Amino acid sequence: MNVLQIDSSSLADASVSRQLTQAIVTALAEAHPDLHVTRLDLVETPPPHLTSDLTQVVKFRNLDNLTSQQREELARTDALVDQFLAADIVVIGAPMYNFSIPTQLKAWIDRVSQAGRTFRYTENGPIGLAGGRKVIIASARGGRYAGMPFEAALDHQEAYLRAILGFWGVTDISIIRAEGVAMGADARAEALDAARRDIPLLVQG
């Protein structure tokens, strides 16, 4: 079983989402002795954001007269897509930054969202091509949003990830959530403890 562990928090060891992704992968390893884990740290090795020049190559596959930089970026993109598609389980560390996701994670999504590989267009609309794998999102939030009246207006983190993964055809999505982690030491500890308690139930289930 292949697992892809993705981290996107810039807080290093202080990151709640990084603690959760590691706890999830550890639990998966205990449940599946044959587990092979590939780690992708989007802060240590961030995919460059697409420019107008790179978009012509990476997204539209205009392969005429490529520069060395364009060839490098095309190879980088193809490697990221290959890595994602090779995984049976993808664990995504996704903290909420300003009601959305870290820019590094968005840059990764922009690379992996490839027509003909993770989705395709048809006369009846887009069809996802990346189903058949499980995605576990380790969600960390400074405030509390789940179940609140304003959640739908402010959650462009979990809702967006569900949307893009669904667009790729991924339907098996679970969330391990720790929220309120910026509301004091006690709230942070309580949120982490609650999230960690959910992990074995998710893995066993």
Q: Domains (ranges, CATH) in the chain?
A: 2-204 (3.40.50.360)
pTM for the model stands at: 0.95
On whether 17 is known to bind a ligand per the annotation, the reply is: yes
On whether 139 is known to bind a ligand per the annotation, the reply is: no
Question: What tens digit of pLDDT does each residue of 13-41 get?
Answer: 999 999 999 999 999 999 999 999 999 99
**φ/ψ (deg, to 5) at 66:** -70, 145
On whether 43 is known to bind a ligand per the annotation, the reply is: no
On whether 183 is known to bind a ligand per the annotation, the reply is: no
On whether 98 is known to bind a ligand per the annotation, the reply is: yes
Question: What tens digit of pLDDT does each residue of 99-137 get?
Answer: 999 999 999 999 999 999 999 999 999 999 999 999 999
Note whether 25 and 3 are within 8 A (CB): yes
Question: What tens digit of pLDDT does each residue of 52-93 get?
Answer: 888 988 888 888 888 998 899 999 999 999 999 999 999 999
Instruction: Characterize 175-192 residue by residue with b for buried, 16 or more Cβ atoms within 10 angstroms of its Cβ, and e for exposed.
Output: bbbbbbbeeeeebbeebb
**φ/ψ (deg, to 5) at 133:** -130, 155
CA distances, 157 to each of 1, 54, 92, 108, 128 (Å): 28, 26, 12, 15, 20
User: Strands, E, within the chain: which ranges?
Assistant: 2-7, 36-41, 89-95, 119-122, 125-128, 134-141, 172-179
Residue 205 has pLDDT above 80, yes or no: no
Question: What tens digit of pLDDT does each residue of 168-199 get?
Answer: 999 999 999 999 999 999 999 999 999 999 99
* Two tokens, residue 203: 């893995």
Note whether 17 and 7 are within 8 A (CB): yes
On whether 62 is known to bind a ligand per the annotation, the reply is: no
